[in-house]
Amino acid sequence: MTASEVVTEGECEQSAPADSDARWIAALSGHGPEHQEALRRLHELMLRGAEHQIAQMYHTLPKLGTVRIEDIVRQSADEATVAVLAKLATFQGRSRFTTWAYKFAILHAAVEVRRNMWRHREVTLDLLYEPYAPGASPEQVIAASDFSSAVSAAIDQGLTSHQREIVLALLVEDVPIDVLAERLGSTRNALHKTLHDARQRLRRHLTAQGYLAASSPTEVNS
């Protein structure tokens, strides 16, 4: 389903956002036929969100058959529906309910797609990077002619081995963070914190070496 196909159905539900949000919450929090109908509509919303996410990532998927893709959509929508219901009390009305709910569908579908992309691929952290020879002096390393080489040296000299493994896996090998978290028995949050700390270390190292200006608002952000 393309995003444009979603528009027709979605528009019908957006005419009175605040009232609509209140009705969603009341129905999903309640009991009886109205609750069951709200559950059905919520699941439809999650299917729509999951289908949208699959469509966005389709070009990255290995050749999967229609049945497998439908399985991914259905599983993601099921998980997202459960997640929405578990977090219902946290909805504050600062966005529309449908926007808030869609993010669960998108997250679950994206994670499932990434898992499928890497299902048969190994992540061998110990083979990712060959460091500079132990005897290389700072002067030899700094003699590197370009920024990329300087960053390579900073990775070797300025990071812990754990930080090195994580940044290279995430940013050089492009291992999806959810996949890496699963393989390492970690979490997306923890890995992103490691990445953040490593970046800060690299920046301090490169600033000290003169490759970055002090307190630069990063010339690399575009």
Instruction: Using CB under 8 A, list all residues that contact other proteins.
Output: 3-4, 6-7, 10-11, 14, 49, 52-53, 56-57, 94-96, 98-100, 102-103, 106-107, 110, 114, 127-133, 136, 140-141, 147-149, 151-152, 155-156, 167-168, 170-172, 174, 176-178, 188-189, 192-193, 195-196, 199-200, 202-203, 206, 212, 216-218, 220-222
Q: Which two tokens stand for residue 27?
A: 């129905």
How many Å apart are CA 104 and CA 84, to the nearest integer?
7
How many residues make up the chain in this entry? 222
Q: Which is nearer to other proteins, 35 or 61 (CB)?
A: 61
Cβ at position 31, least distance to other proteins in Å = 27
Cβ at position 41, least distance to other proteins in Å = 15
Q: Which is nearer to other proteins, 66 or 221 (CB)?
A: 221
CA dist list (Å): 26 to 31, 34, 86, 88: 9, 9, 15, 10
Q: Which is nearer to other proteins, 19 or 36 (CB)?
A: 19
Cβ at position 27, least distance to other proteins in Å = 20
Give CA torsion, residues 110, 116, 119, 120, to 10 deg: -130
How many Å apart are CA 7 and CA 68, to the nearest integer?
25
Q: Which is nearer to other proteins, 75 or 95 (CB)?
A: 95
Q: Which is nearer to other proteins, 39 or 195 (CB)?
A: 195
Q: Which of 30, 37, 28 is CA-nearest to residue 84?
A: 28
How many Å apart are CA 163 and CA 152, to the nearest integer?
13
Instruction: Write out the H or E segment, with its range, that includes residue 26.
Output: helix 17-29
